[in-house]
Amino acid sequence: MTNWLDPVRLALDLVRVPVTLFFRDDDGGWEDEKLFPLLDIVTAYQMPLALAAIPMAVGPHLASELRSILTTNASPVSVHQHGYAHINHEAFGRKSEFGDSRPRDLQRQDLADGKRWLEDQLACALPPIFTPPWNRCARVTADCLAELGVRVLSRDRSAKRFGLASLLELPISLDWSGCDGVRHGPIVWGETIARAILSGETTGIMLHHAMMTADDHRMLTDLFDLITGRRSACVRQMFEIANPSHDPGERQSCVL
C-alpha cells in the first residue's frame, strides 16, 4: 500500500459513522479503448461505478459491451444519461449543452430523445438519473427533468441547488482529473480525499476515463484495495443512495 493513502486510511479510522462514497465516470461513448480498462478494474473489485453515457456518442460496439455488463448478475456498473450529444450551445461564457440561452422546448426534446435513444441502444430502462455535460445546466433543465420523471440530478458540489422537491441533487465532491485532483501529486490528492471523508458528507468522486493514465489506474487500484471490506467506507451506486430501499440484487434491470 502506498504512502499517499495514509491520510485516507487515518480518516477512515477516525470517522464514527461509515461514510458513503460513490464513483461516477463521465463521457461514456468517447474513447472506448480507455473506458474498458477502467471497467475491468471496477469489475475485478466489484466496486460500484455509475457510467454517465452520452446518448449520441454510444456506438454499436460499446452498446453491445454495456448490454453484456448490465445483464450480468450483481454487475457493479450502472449507466445513466449524460446530456444528449455533449455539444456546447452557449455563444458566450462557460460551456453548456443545457444552458440559459437554450429554449425550454429544445432542451426538453433533447432530454427525452437522448433517454429514449440510450435505452434503445442498451435494451433496458435507465435509472432516472441525469448528469449534464460540464456539470452545468439551467433551472429550466431541472424543471424539464422533473416533468420527464428524472429523480436525481448530479452536478458539481459548487453548483447552486435548484431546490425542487421532486429532484434529488447528488453532487460530486472530488474530480480525480480536475484542477484540484491528482495533478497536484499523490500526497496532496490523498489529503484531499481524506478531508472529504472527515466531513461526514456523501463523497462523490468523478472520473474521466479518457484522461486517466496507467498511473491513475494504479492509484485507483490502491484506493480500492484500501476501502474494500472497510466498514467505515460504504461505496454505493448512485441510485442506491437516492433510493435506500432499492434491492442491489435488481441491478441487472438497470431500473431505479
**Residues, the chain:** 256
Name the CATH architecture for the domain at 3-241. Alpha-Beta Barrel (3.20)
Tens digit of each residue's pLDDT (9 = 90 or more) over 179-232: 889 988 999 999 999 999 999 999 999 999 999 999 999 999 999 999 998 999
Cell of 47: 466496486
**Confidence at 244, pLDDT banded by 50, 70, 90:** low
d(CA 250, CA 227): 24
Tens digit of each residue's pLDDT (9 = 90 or more) over 51-75: 999 999 999 999 999 999 998 888 9
pTM of the model: 0.93
- The domains of the chain are located at 3-241
Strands, DSSP E only, in 41-192?
Answer: 49-53, 77-81, 129-130, 152-153, 168-169, 174-175
Q: How many CA atoms lie within 13 A of 50 on its CB side?
A: 33
